Amino acid sequence: MSFAVVGNFEEAIDCWRTHAQRFPNDNDGVILAATSGAVNVRLGGEALRPVVVAGMDPPPAPGIESTPGREAEVSHLRSVVGLVWRSVVLWMVLLALLTLARLLG
C-alpha cells in the first residue's frame, strides 16, 4: 500500500487488483504487481501464470501476457530504489507522528 501512496497510486492499485494473483507466489505477486504499477514498468513472461477460466479457450502461450507499462530497462532500477526510499521515509514519518501522539496524549 505504501508503494501506491508514494508512487503512481491508480496504476499500482489497478495492477495489484488485476495482476497480483497471476504471480506464482501470492506474497511476491502483491509486491511485484504494486511495484510495476507504481513505476509503470511491464513485468511478464515466465514470471506470470496463465489465467485459466472454465469454459473459455486455453490461455495464450507463456511470455505473451504481461502487466501494463513500459518495457523494463536498467534505468528503471533507479526509480524502484527511489520508490523504496520514499516508502521508508513515509513509514518513518508515520512512526514519528505516532510516537509524538503517544508522548503528548
Task: Give the model's pLDDT for residue 72.
Answer: 79
Which residues is 71 bridged to in the sheet?
A: 42
Domains identified in the chain, total number: 1
Task: Give the model's pLDDT for residue 63.
Answer: 46
* Residues 20-72: tens digit of each pLDDT: 888 878 888 888 888 888 998 887 766 666 555 556 555 555 544 677 778 87
Q: What is the pTM of this model?
A: 0.69
* Residues 58-104: tens digit of each pLDDT: 555 554 467 777 887 888 899 999 999 999 999 999 999 999 999 99
DSSP letter string, 8-74: -HHHHHHHHHHHGGGSSSHHHHHHHHHHHHHHTEE-BGGGSPPP--TTSPPPPPTTS-B-SSEEP-T
* Residue 80 lies in domain: 2-104
